[in-house]
A = this chain, B = another copy of it.
Amino acid sequence: MSEREAYEVVPKEEDFSRWFDEVIFKAEILDERYPVKGMYVWLPYGYELMENIMNIMERLLRQTGHKRVYFPSIVPESVLSREFRFIKGFQDSVFWVTRLGRQEIEEKLALRPTSEAIMYEVLSRWINSYRDLPIRIYQIAPIYRYETKATRPMLRVREVAFFKEGHSFHATYEEAVEQVNLEVWIYKSFYDELLIPYIVVKTMPWDTFPGALYNYDIVTIMPDGKALELGSAINFGDLFAKTYELRYMDEKGEKRNVNTTSFGISERSLAAVIAIHGDDRGLRLPPKIAPIQVVIVPIPTKDYEERIMDYCREVRSVLSRDFRAHLDDSDERPGYKFYKWEMKGVPIRVEIGKKELENRELTIFRRDKMERMTTPFEGVTKFIDELLRDIERVLAEQAWSYFKQRIYHARNLEELIENVKTKVVSFAWCGKEECGHEVEEKGGYGLIGYEEGALEGKGERCIICGEEAKHRCWIGRSY
């Protein structure tokens, strides 16, 4: 196998789905060959990448007063099933433990599909008075859902390995509303840092999260034109409080229900990064999350090997002060190293051979545009710093530009039907459920959600009934 072939993948435009699978394997993100369907092994490079992503979210969560906790992954059936809408929403997807060693168990135990039930059960003991509120907690722990649709690494999994979920507890409904808005802000800030484009929509009332009053979804569009939900911010109001006896004593000594919210992200955030920024050579990583930001590759020339290596080490020692720099001093040939680090999405490659040594300069290759340039070693830190920022700018611009190309604003049902097979389509909606359902029926796909009040007073007409439209609604194929 030639060096080129080892890192060759099918072109992204030709077969996105195969491209995605090949890239995550060849870039060593994860190993799909795990003997339980829908579960995957995270390789060191993929793990580090995911860790850098999680660190961004963690910073945002701490900034906004969320504290990290840990709840076990196992929940007794009686706790999980107390909220009937909730258990109904998950009844087909729960992994049940029924045996311990060689014994049958008394009460079935669930691997948690999400943590609301168990947290509420436990927090009803933590919360007594209004002084205990608000509480904002989060945890990073896997959740388990027996997906019956076809599984896909990171996109549709049975073990969400990197589930980061926040839960909050408030005295009033208004505070819960504010918190959900804060959660949307956290999502936006997070995906802005990952350079991922998105829309934020309110979920259709008939698709709301089990047991919730309402929820917002943050949604991106994948290269195949399908919508991908990247996170949900959910307001439960006091629906769960009633079931789980989440009550507090207010300032007047009266018992009141606690209002709760939840939100979460998963490895889907990385799937979006890979899918949206990647190209036919593999990953293109935003510098902020790249495990290696600069890779140094020596280009050996006979009789100059040692001096070139010394120069490489000097460059590494300077770059390591400000960047995640790596010197690839392995025995592989330079060409192989080029393909490898391009596949792994390292934003900048520094090539050092005889010419660079003699001129005390560096050949710099930027992964995003596949462009080469030369710069003096003197002042290289500033040069790379600016280059990384330019790479960020280019990745974001390209991503948003593709995003807009994958959207169609339909003026009538005909246009909607024509475009919904390849794009995510928006349309004007009056807000009546029957009109929404009719679009789903005629369009052939579920509605993604709507931007509440986005068209109010704009004089647009509902695509179905022709009455005044209030909301911009979205429809499309989705993951």
Contact = CB atoms under 8 A, between A and B. Distances in A.
A72 B161 contact: yes
Interface string A26-60: 00000101111001111110011001000000000
Nearest to A141: B142
A99 B98 contact: yes
A10 interface: no
A92 interface: yes
Interface stretch (A100-108, A182-190, A455-463): A100-108
Contacts of A98: 96-99
Contacts of A47: 67-70
Interface stretch (A73-81, A201-209, A466-474): A73-81
Nearest to A31: B122
B48 A68 contact: yes
A146 B101 contact: yes
Most chain B CB within a 10 A radius of its CB, from A34, A42, A79: A34
A190 B171 CA distance: 44
A86 interface: no
A159 interface: yes
Contacts of A118: 35
Interface string A96-129: 1111111000001101000000100110011000
A68 B35 CA distance: 21
Contacts of A102: 91-92
Contact of A95 (B51, B91, B109, B121): B109
Count this chain's copies in the assembly. 2
A413 to B, nearest CB: 37
A35 B96 contact: no
A209 to B, nearest CB: 18
B94 A100 contact: yes
A93 interface: yes
Given A100-B146, A108-B99, A72 B122 contact: no
A70 B100 contact: no
A76 B122 contact: no
Given A44-B137, A67-B44, A146-B100, A34 B72 contact: yes
A70 B40 CA distance: 8
A304 interface: no
Contacts of A97: 95-98, 111
Contact of A122 (B34, B69, B71, B92): B34
A146 B121 CA distance: 23
B79 A125 contact: no
Given A109-B36, A122-B31, A159-B74, A69 B43 contact: yes
A122 B70 contact: no
A129 to B, nearest CB: 13
Contacts of A96: 97-100
A144 B96 CA distance: 14
Most chain B CB within a 10 A radius of its CB, from A73, A109, A111: A73
A133 to B, nearest CB: 15
A51 to B, nearest CB: 8
A40 B118 CA distance: 12
Contacts of A48: 68
A316 B73 CA distance: 39
Contacts of A101: 91-94, 146
12 contacts: A35-B75, A35-B118, A36-B76, A47-B68, A47-B69, A72-B142, A74-B95, A74-B159, A92-B101, A93-B100, A93-B101, A96-B97
Closest 7 pairs (CB-CB, A-B)? A42-B70, A44-B67, A96-B99, A92-B101, A39-B72, A100-B146, A98-B98
Given A73-B159, A95-B109, A97-B111, 10 more contacts: A31-B125, A34-B71, A34-B122, A41-B69, A43-B69, A51-B68, A91-B102, A93-B100, A94-B101, A111-B111
